[in-house]
Amino acid sequence: MKTNDYEVIFAIVNSGYAEDVMDIAREQGVRGGTILNARGVLREEAAAFFGITLHQDKEILMTVVERELRDKVLNAIYKEMGMAKKAKGIAFSLPVSDVAGLVPVQQPQEAEAE
């Protein structure tokens, strides 16, 4: 189904923090997500330049959200799990142009009308 109503949010954090990110996203209205295991790569010179320590083991939380939730979710994730925190997280979103398998949440008034 063609749509402009959704965005996919990717939150990349140090291993062990993805469930915490999902909890933060749920508090903002997100219903679910998928956690992927990953490995970070960065040249040693870049790490020294940016003054960061690279933890190779990463987790990626990927969740599809309604467009109107995007900013609220991204801000909450970054506030609690950003680069200044132990999770050393980054988060970004991309537009979704086609969706299959998502069931829109019905508002209570809509459910009663059916």
Q: Considering the domain boundaries, does residue 112 fall inside one? A: no
Pick the closest to residue 15 from 33, 32, 37 (CA basis): 37
Give me the chain's average pLDDT, please: 84
Q: Considering the domain boundaries, does residue 103 fall inside one? A: no
Structural domain for 52, as ranges: 2-97
When divided into structural domains, the chain yields a total of 1
Range 31-70 burial, b when 16+ CB lie within 10 A, else e: eebebeeeeeeeeeeeeeeeeeeeeeebbbbebbbbeebb
Q: Considering the domain boundaries, does residue 111 fall inside one? A: no
- Reduced to 3 states, what is the DSSP secondary structure of residue 51? coil
Give the CATH number, domain containing residue 64. Answer: 3.30.70.120
Q: Over range 54-64, report the average pLDDT.
A: 87
Indicate the pLDDT class of residue 86, thresholds 50, 70 and 90.
Answer: confident
Give me the pLDDT at residue 48, please.
Answer: 65
Indicate the pLDDT class of residue 105, thresholds 50, 70 and 90.
Answer: low
Give me the pLDDT at residue 98, please.
Answer: 84
